[in-house]
Chain A
Amino acid sequence: MIKIEKLVLDKINSTYYSGKKKLAVLKDVTLYVQPGEFVSVLGPSGSGKSTILKTAAGLLRPDSGKVLIDGEEVTGLPQLVGYMPQQDLLFPWKTMWQNAALPLLAAGVSKNEAFDRVSEMLPLFGLKGFADYYPYQLSGGMRQRAALLRTMLIDSNLMLLDEPFGALDALTREQMQDWLLGIWEKFRRSVLFVTHSIDEAIYLSDRVYVITERPGKNAIEQTIKIDRPREKSILTTRDFTIYKQILINALAN
């Protein structure tokens, strides 16, 4: 039996047009995510990481190359996937639960049922008691968790997360990483996670793709063989440091 990958990007080439200017963004980018696997894309800013995610979600049609989800070609077609853009994109005119319930309502779930299903998840996302708060009343970490809850409620077991913790302060960010790992262990969805933090990539992932700068190209692919569940103490282990050295070298070239 042939194993079917959850997500495959096959030799994606992408160009950004601004007036007459042409800018190559991605060059032959290839990657895959296995079912239940946590994969990170690590690269400097301007390496087209967001373009990779948008292409995977079908929001962008590449110049060439294929996108496959569950073995089916879906290039350029917006797919029902757990896509979370860089900004949390919570709508300021909706309360937290209304924001989180959007994917359910879009899927035709009734308002009452959507409320129940969101409420059920709130404790796990550290948002209990905040259902009726507007986004501006929530802290940065809470907003990200609300956006992640909304993403989780999209009925798909593939998640595409675009630097979800990029805008948070260092301490909140570390808490959120542990929290995300907890959520991931519980639900075991396939994750493609974009980041420019080396530590974050190693700490969270089963595998890391390093993408070079402009145009984005595959540099290396590194499997992270550190046992799960992971704790912050692994950050100082020898294995962790070795992986870090490998990734730093890959980014430097």
Chain B
Amino acid sequence: MKKWANIRISLPPLVFFVFLVGMWELVSYITRVPEYILPAPSLIGRSLFANVSLLADHTATTLTAVAGGLALAISTAILLSLAMDRWKPLKQALYPILVVSQAVPIFALAPLMMIWFGVGLLPKVLIVALVCFFPLAVNLVEGLNQVDPEAIELMKIMQADSLMIMKSVQLPTAMPYFFSGLKIAATYSVLGAIIGEWLGARAGLGIYMLRSMNSFRTGDVFASIVVVVLLSLMLFKIVEAFGWLAMPWKKKISDYNEE
């Protein structure tokens, strides 16, 4: 029964999407809009396949920045939120600054990264990390805050040490929050890498996009957009899969609710 429910959920948007693409194809065929303004889906498809290996190289570059930035953001966010949870004065001092820091647009910080660290991989990694850090840290702090004080009391009665309390109460409580932060971060990460590449790089999807734009190869621009979308979706799904593996109890609860 459950499989049917899934298909019912995913089928309507799929049908509608195919319909939209079909309309797009039809309209560009009838109106003959110049392809440097709006290329037909079929043309985008062609440019996608014609440049597969080139696109793959650029994607690999972008993915490296994404992976590095995510890893940096995750480790910093975990360390900092655990520290803030343990020492409340640190939280009081740091947390408001963290929130305010989000008012600084990433577009404004990215050029600074370029000035300080050049056009290599490092500034992209840092930009991705900056974009991803905030949703991760905020969710982790919030998650650690949700710990039931009665659960801690119970563990203390059992004379559990603080490592065990951390492992059996605090981390599992924060886990779902961490993963919802990670989902947001994963989708932001590609955006961060692309912005970094726009400002100066030798390779990457952002550069491919920029070069295609400058030579009015709009089909190639669209092709890189398709790759970016697929990349974000893939990262999102990977995070979701990790979430399922890390939280078997959640998986079972959602199964339970569906039935």
Chain A interfacial positions (CB closer than 8 Å to B):
54, 57-59, 78-81, 83, 85, 87, 89, 91-94, 102-103, 105-107, 134, 136-137, 154
Segment of B88-96, B233-241, B249-257 engaged in the interface with chain A: B249-257
Residues of chain B within 8 A of A94, CB atoms compared = 168, 172, 249
Q: How far is the CA of A59 from the CA of B159 in the complex (A)?
A: 12
Residues of chain B within 8 A of A80, CB atoms compared = 157-159
A89 near B168 with CB under 8 A, answer no
User: Which of A80, A87, A93 has the largest count of B CB atoms less than 10 A from its CB?
Assistant: A93
Q: Which of A85, A87, A102, A137 contacts B158 (CB 8 A)?
A: A102
How many contacts between A and B, using CB within 8 angstroms? 63
Which residues, 141 to 167 on B, are CB-close (under 8 Å) to A? 148, 150-151, 153-161, 164
A-B contacts, 30 of them at CB < 8 A, read A59-B153, A59-B157, A78-B153, A78-B157, A80-B158, A83-B154, A87-B150, A89-B148, A89-B150, A89-B151, A89-B154, A91-B151, A91-B172, A92-B249, A92-B253, A93-B172, A93-B175, A94-B168, A102-B155, A102-B160, A106-B155, A106-B158, A106-B159, A106-B160, A134-B249, A136-B249, A136-B252, A136-B253, A137-B252, A154-B158
Residue of A nearest to B149 (CB): A59
Q: Which of B153, B155, B158, B249 contacts A93 (CB 8 A)?
A: B249
A105 near B156 with CB under 8 A, answer no
Residues of chain B within 8 A of A54, CB atoms compared = 153
Contact with A along B14-56 (1 / 0, CB 8 A): 0000000000000000000000000000000000000000000
Q: Which 7 A-B pairs have the closest CB atoms?
A: A106-B160, A93-B172, A106-B158, A78-B156, A103-B158, A93-B249, A83-B157
Say how far B149's CB is from chain A's closest CB, in angstroms: 10
Contact with A along B193-236 (1 / 0, CB 8 A): 00000000000000000000000000000000000000000000
Residues of chain A within 8 A of B184, CB atoms compared = none
B252 near A105 with CB under 8 A, answer no
In this assembly, does B247 line the interface, its C-beta being within 8 Å of a C-beta of chain A?
yes
B247 near A93 with CB under 8 A, answer yes
In this assembly, does B169 line the interface, its C-beta being within 8 Å of a C-beta of chain A?
yes
A57 near B157 with CB under 8 A, answer yes
Residue of A nearest to B253 (CB): A136
Say how far B151's CB is from chain A's closest CB, in angstroms: 6
Say how far B205's CB is from chain A's closest CB, in angstroms: 38
Residues of chain A within 8 A of B156, CB atoms compared = 59, 78
Extra contacts, 4 of them, besides A105-B164, A136-B253 (Cβ < 8 A), are A57-B157, A83-B154, A89-B150, A154-B158
Contact with A along B117-159 (1 / 0, CB 8 A): 0000000000000000000000000000000101101111111
Residues of chain A within 8 A of B155, CB atoms compared = 102, 106
With contact pairs A57-B157, A85-B150 given, residues A91 and B168 touching in the complex (Cβ less than 8 Å): yes
With contact pairs A87-B150, A89-B151, A134-B252 given, residues A81 and B157 touching in the complex (Cβ less than 8 Å): yes
Q: How far is the CA of A103 from the CA of B159 in the complex (A)?
A: 8
Q: How far is the CA of A80 from the CA of B175 in the complex (A)?
A: 29
Q: How far is the CA of A85 from the CA of B153 in the complex (A)?
A: 10
A106 near B150 with CB under 8 A, answer no
Residues of chain A within 8 A of B247, CB atoms compared = 93
Residue of A nearest to B151 (CB): A89
Say how far A93's CB is from chain B's closest CB, in angstroms: 4
Residues of chain A within 8 A of B164, CB atoms compared = 105-106
Residues of chain B within 8 A of A58, CB atoms compared = 157
Say how far A118's CB is from chain B's closest CB, in angstroms: 14
Q: How far is the CA of A81 from the CA of B155 in the complex (A)?
A: 11
Residues of chain A within 8 A of B157, CB atoms compared = 57-59, 78-81, 83, 154
Q: How far is the CA of A51 from the CA of B249 in the complex (A)?
A: 32
Residues of chain B within 8 A of A81, CB atoms compared = 157
Contact with A along B42-86 (1 / 0, CB 8 A): 000000000000000000000000000000000000000000000
